[in-house]
Amino acid sequence: MNDMTKHQLVLLILLVSFVTALVTGIVTVTLINQAPAPITQTIQRVVEKTIGALPEPLKKNEKQELELSALSRDILIEDIARRVSPAVVSVVATKDIPVIERYFVSPFSNGDPLQQFFPDLQIPQYRQKGTEKTQVSSGSGFFVSSDGFLLTNRHVVEDSEAEYSVITNDNKKLKAKVVARDTINDMAVLKIDGGDFASIPLGDSESVSIGQTAIAIGNALGEFQNTVSIGVVSGLRRTIMASGSASGPEELSQVIQTDAAINLGNSGGPLLNLRGEAIGLNAAKAQGAENIGFSIPINQLKRALNDARTKGRIINPYIGVRYILADNGALVQAGANGEDAIQLNSPASRAGIKEGDVILEFGGVKITRENPLNKLIQQRSVGDKVTLKILRDGKEIKIDLVLEERKNI
């Protein structure tokens, strides 16, 4: 009986609390609705300050402006895709691959007494039966002139024994000649016989800013031709180790980072701005990550492209030092595997540069992370005389040297 009384008391308290709260709420709402305007406005301000102002619906003209802006961007990107797609191609490598034939023979020689016990025993053997043309790799590329010159990555066309062709947006297959492969940047120049090709104008990668729209086009996964992906420029002046080349990993410096999808097969395709200009050559993606791709700035490739078109080869200047970027410049030092800091018979060795020197300036330009030594060298030409400001044993000195051509190895 005592337990039942306790339960009834608890229920009674809960019921009274609920009724009291309900009546209080009804009375409060009634009083607010009947209160003068100044009081209701004060209450509203207190509520807004407590929970934040509720967003008001967009006005009709504001909504229309935003919709028109978004629609204009979509129309612009669609127009760029239509204009540049005919200039983007798939680059295909084919080789004569041996055709291996399988056949069966008896393991016993004629007259072997064991043959009578295993008359049907046969073992497999293999032999070459000629060769056949086989596609061994594919990537992307794009025309940079109407007379048939294309850009792609060096690792897409690095096999000197393969034959290369391009497949255009309208599925025409055209034979391609490798004009030059760049030993500094992961780029190569191809040539197609003929003329009047659609081409992509080259932009200015120095004017690229983080956050601006980036458009990548290429032969995604070697299967989906002229795939278009949209993103932004996520970072600038990145340094990465790119794998996938037959010659092993290589360092790419000063590259553009983007979240526009750069999948396998996109290598060699263009990275575009909203003017439809190529600002980069798509080269790599981060393994084990989503939407982290890298593109070589187009300004780094313009001189090499011009060399290939006018001279039939790429001429890279060099001074012959191995270095790491320090806070105040380029510290000349040996490689981690014992490589010499100063290359024998190089411009640097003849000029007297020593291991441990810090190159502060190159041609009057201070060496920084934004202007590393390799970038400054590539802006010059073979034969240029350049003055280097060097810190040695705590003292600054100046050394003159003449840039020479890096030999392809």
Q: Is 154 left (phi over 0), alpha (psi -120 to 50) or beta?
A: alpha
3-state DSSP call for residue 198? coil
Q: Which residues contact 197 (CB under 8 A, 6 or more apart)?
A: 87, 143, 145, 146, 147, 148
Burial of 268 from C-beta contacts in 10 A (0-12 / 13-18 / 19+): buried
- With the C-alpha atoms ordered 280, 321, 246, 94, is the resulting torsion angle positive or negative? positive
The token pair at 351 is 């000029």
Give the whole-angstrom CA distance, residue 232 versus residue 256: 10
Buried b (16+ CB within 10 A) or exposed e, 203-237: bebeebeeeebbbbbbbbebeebbbbbbbebbebe
186 is catalytic: yes
Choose among 208, 302, 221, 300: nearest CA to 257.
208
- Among 332, 337, 347, 330, smallest CA distance to 407 is for 347
- φ/ψ of 133, rounded to 5, equals -70, 125
Residue ranges with strand state E in 144-268: 149-152, 163-167, 173-181, 188-192, 213-220, 224-242, 250-258
Catalytic one of 85, 140, 229, 267:
267
The question of whether 7 is a catalytic residue gets the answer: no
Candidates 155, 182, 295, 357; catalytic one: 155
Euclidean distance between CA atoms 252 and 244, whole angstroms: 13
Tokens 């290598």, located at residue:
267
Rounded to whole angstroms, the Cα distance separating 367 from 362 reads 7
Catalytic residues: 155, 186, 267
